[in-house]
């Protein structure tokens, strides 16, 4: 039993397909199947079951896959640790970000990362918060930009920035004539919000509760761009993160609050990760790479 055997097994667990797993591991399917069979014989348990069409993990296989990912992540960490003796700010990292942040923040920040950390290669993963947290805890990604607070004992956080919310309204809306609004102006309004699973939805609901506003229950969007288009069509109002409102859009106005509701973004990583100097430096560079605080 060696690390390569576990890599084959994790590839099968990820792809649910032997040919695709073999391709990902750069081996032939017979080689992968034979090594996986040897691993099962060594352990004395069946990790994988399959028929003519499907591949699935046994219950013990599912638990083994979680631990195997952690083990492979730790093994990669050992290699990175050895390399860090030459340059602690070098290497490859997988960085996650959630959909209502990634397209607006990362294009501003990553050029600064490339300039300030030229020996660091960043591979991006865009997913909803809960998926990123799971991937982070299982060692599938190295760090993630997430909305705070994050209350997980095994995870640590370095704050990066704060971002205010604006109210997005159609140009024909009565509030559109205002230069600035109060939170109380939302009272009685029904806001269009994102679908379940988006952290921005929970943040917006908190603002609605505070302001005496409600949710437009006839519509839920899968993305900020869909929400924006609905506002531009005159179908309602919504809260929009400031970074997502930088560009001018016809038919929509972004109104600032006198006391704006905010969200805080942090760089989240495993507390057991040895690369604390890297995360500290990356968070510092990300702060300088964003234009709004």
CA 235 to chain CA mean position, Å: 29
Q: What is the pLDDT of residues 191-234, one digit of tens each?
A: 999 998 888 899 999 999 888 899 988 888 989 999 999 999 99
More confident site: 293 or 126: 126
Superfamily, domain 90-161+264-288: Periplasmic binding protein-like II (3.40.190.10)
Closest C-alpha among 132, 95, 111, 105 to residue 241? 105
Residue 292: predicted pLDDT: 42
Q: Domain 162-262 carries which CATH code?
A: 3.40.190.10
pLDDT of residue 114: 94
Average pLDDT of the residues in 161-175: 93
90-161+264-288 and 162-262: same fold?
Answer: yes
Domain over 3-81 is classified CATH 1.10.10.10? yes
pLDDT one-digit tens code per residue, 70-97: 888 888 777 776 766 667 788 889 999 9
Domain boundaries, the chain: 3-81, 90-161+264-288, 162-262
């Amino acid at each position: 039993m060696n690390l390569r055997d576990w890599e084959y097994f994790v590839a099968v667990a990820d792809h649910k397909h032997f040919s695709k797993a073999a391709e990902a591991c750069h081996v032939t399917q017979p080689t992968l199947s034979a090594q996986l069979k040897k691993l099962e014989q060594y352990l004395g348990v069946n990790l994988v079951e399959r028929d003519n069409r499907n591949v699935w993990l046994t219950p013990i296989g599912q638990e083994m896959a979680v631990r195997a990912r952690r083990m492979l992540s730790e093994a990669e960490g050992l290699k990175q640790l050895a390399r860090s003796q030459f340059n602690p700010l070098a290497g490859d990292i997988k960085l996650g970000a959630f959909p209502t942040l990634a397209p607006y923040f990362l294009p501003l920040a990553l050029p600064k990362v490339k300039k300030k950390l030229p020996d660091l290669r960043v591979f991006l993963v865009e997913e909803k918060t809960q998926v990123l947290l799971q991937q982070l805890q299982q060692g599938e990604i190295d760090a993630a930009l997430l909305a705070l607070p994050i209350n997980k004992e095994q995870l640590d956080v370095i704050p990066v920035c704060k971002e205010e919310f604006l109210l997005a309204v159609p140009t024909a809306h009565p509030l559109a004539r205002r230069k600035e609004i109060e939170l109380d102006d939302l009272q009685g309004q029904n806001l269009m919000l994102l679908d379940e699973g988006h952290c921005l939805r929970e943040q917006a609901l908190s603002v609605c509760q505070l302001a005496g506003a409600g949710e437009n229950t006839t519509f839920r969007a899968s993305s900020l761009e869909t929400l924006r288009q609905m506002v531009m069509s005159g179908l309602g109002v919504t809260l929009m993160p400031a970074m997502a409102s930088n560009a001018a859009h016809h038919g929509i106005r972004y109104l600032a609050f006198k006391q704006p509701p905010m969200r805080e973004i942090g760089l989240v990583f495993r507390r057991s990760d040895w690369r604390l100097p890297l995360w500290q430096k990356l968070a510092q560079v990300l702060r300088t790479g964003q234009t709004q605080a």
